[in-house]
Amino acid sequence: MRTKVVIIGAGPAGLLLGHLLENQGIETVILERRSRDYVLGRIRAGVLEQGTVELLEQAGVSGRMQAEGLIRDGVELSFDGDAHRFDFRELVGRTVMVYGQTEVTRDLMQARDAAGATTIYEAENVALHDFDGDKPRVSYLKDGTEHEISCDFIAGCDGYHGVSRASVPETALRTFERVYPFGWLGILVDRPPVADELIYAHHSRGFALCSMRSPTRSRYYVQVSTDEKVEDWSDDRFWDELRRRLNDETAGRLLTGPSIEKSIAPLRSFVAEPLRFGHLFLAGDAAHIVPPTGAKGLNLAASDVRYLAEALIEYYEERSSAGIDAYSARALARVWKAERFSWWMTSILHTFPDTDAFGRRMQRTEFDYLVSSEAASRSLAENYTGLPF
C-alpha cells in the first residue's frame, strides 16, 4: 500500500490532522492500536479555546459542536472559600466552549467516514522505518497478517505512550519533565452542574474543580495523593470531600448522584524537542503533556496540527519545504507558553506536600493579586482563552 501521509493514532490530533489534509486532497491513512469503541469510551477534558473552535469551524466539523457546545464567558477561581469571577469577554473579548473531547473525536471520525478516508483500527505492532530518508514506511499487523505502507511523511499522533517518539534515537531527543506529587480523582454524573461556569478551587485539603459536559451532566475533580486507589473512593466519600473544598454557598447548591465514571489521573508536565526527525513529525500528547489545570491538552494538539497541516499543504501545493522546516520551532514556541500557564495554574491551586508557610502565603498572594489587578486578570484571561496561533 502507498499513501502520502501515514498518521499514527486516532485521537483528536491524528483525526484532525487527517481531516485538514484530506480537505485539501492529500491522502492519508490512520493506524490506531485500539478499537473505535475503545477510543470513544475514553473520558477526557472538555474546554475548547476560541481558536480551537474557529479551527473546527473552518475545517467544517463544527455542526454538532455549535448546536450542543456551551459558550462560557468566564470562570471562577476560589481560594479558601473566597471566590472571584474572571470575565473573559470583558477582559480580553474572547470566550471558551465547553464541549467534550470525546465528542470532538466522534465528530471527526464521522467526517472521516463520510470522506471515505482509511482508518485501520486495532492495528498491532505498528513500527516506523527509514523516516530519516525520503522513503519512510510503516508496518503493522492486522488480524494476524503483516502489512506495510510506504509514504512521504509519518505523523506521530499516538499520545504519550505511543511508538513514534519511542522510535526516535535517544540522542536526537531532549526531554523536559515534571511529575507532580498528586493526581486528580474525577467523577462524571448525570446531574446539572453546580454553576454555569467552571469553578477552580484552592483549599487547604487540596484542589477541587467543578466542570460540566452539558446542562444535565457534570464533571467534578478533587486532588488526591498519588497512592490513592479509586476503589477506596465511594461516591459518598467523593461528594463529602468535594463539598468540604467548596465554599458554603456552592457546596449548598451541589446536586449529587451516582457516578457514571470515576478514575484517577496523574499530573505531569512534559515536552520533547524537537518535533521533527527527517520525515517524521510529532504532534499532540506524543510530543508534550500538560497538567489538566489549564485545560490546554486538546487545544495544544489542535495548534500543533494546524501548523503541521499548513506545512504539509504548502509542501504539496507549492513544493516548498519552508513550512515543514519551521514546524518544530513554531509549534514549540506555543507549546512552552501553554506549559508555563498550566504549570502556574497547577502551582497556585494545589496543595503541595512540601510547601512551607511562606509558600502558602505566596499562593494566597498570587490569588489576591490576580483579583485586584486588571493586568493580572487579563493575563489569566488571555492564556485561558488561548494564545493566538
Q: How far is the CB of 274 from ligand PHB (least distance, A)?
A: 28
In terms of Cα–Cα distance, which of 376, 196, 172 is closest to 275?
Answer: 172
Tell me which DSSP letter residue 246 carries.
S
Pick from 28, 32, 75, 381: which binds ligand APR (CB under 6 A)? 32
Binding mask 2-41 for ligand PHB (x = CB under 6 A): ----------------------------------------
Residue numbers 175-204 binding ligand PHB by CB under 6 A: 198
> At its nearest, how many Å lie between ligand APR and the CB of residue 286?
6
Contact of 200 with 209, CB cutoff 8 Å: yes
- How many residues bind ligand PHB (CB under 6 A)? The answer is 9
Contacts of 153 (CB under 8 A, 6+ apart): 4, 5, 6, 136, 279, 280, 281, 312, 324
- Residue from the set 158, 197, 241, 339 that interacts with ligand APR by CB under 6 A: 158
206 lies in the site for ligand PHB, by CB under 6 A? no
Q: Under the criterion CB under 6 A, does residue 295 sit at the interface with ligand PHB?
A: yes
Compare residues 44 and 147 and give the one whose CB is closer to ligand PHB: 44
Residue 266 is classified by DSSP as E
Please select the residue that binds ligand PHB; options are 5, 8, 45, 300, rule is CB under 6 A: 45
Site membership for ligand PHB, residue 78 (CB under 6 A): no
- Whole-number Å distance between alpha carbons of 309 and 304: 9
Q: What is residue 287's DSSP assignment?
A: T
State how far the Cα of 289 lies from the Cα of 177, in Å rounded to an integer: 9
Of the listed pieces 9-17, 91-99, 200-208, 232-240, which binds ligand APR according to CB under 6 A? 9-17
Q: Where are the beta strands (DSSP E) in 130-216?
A: 137-142, 145-150, 153-156, 174-189, 199-202, 208-214
Q: Is 289 exposed, middle or buried (0-12, 13-18, 19+ CB in 10 A)?
A: buried
At its nearest, how many Å lie between ligand PHB and the CB of residue 130? 39
Measured from the Cβ of residue 356, the count of other Cβ atoms closer than 10 Å reads 9
Alpha carbon 102 to chain centroid, angstroms: 11
Kindly state the smallest distance separating residue 254's Cβ from ligand APR, in Å.
26
Q: Which of 55, 126, 311, 348 binds ligand APR (CB under 6 A)?
A: 126
Is the Cβ of residue 31 or residue 98 nearer to ligand PHB in the bound state?
98
Q: Which three cell numbers stand for residue 22?
A: 484530506
Please give the residue ranges that form the binding site for ligand PHB (CB under 6 A): 45-47, 198, 211, 219, 292-293, 295
Please give the residue ranges that form the binding site for ligand APR (CB under 6 A): 8-14, 31-34, 39, 44-45, 101, 123, 126, 157-159, 161-163, 284-286, 297-298, 301
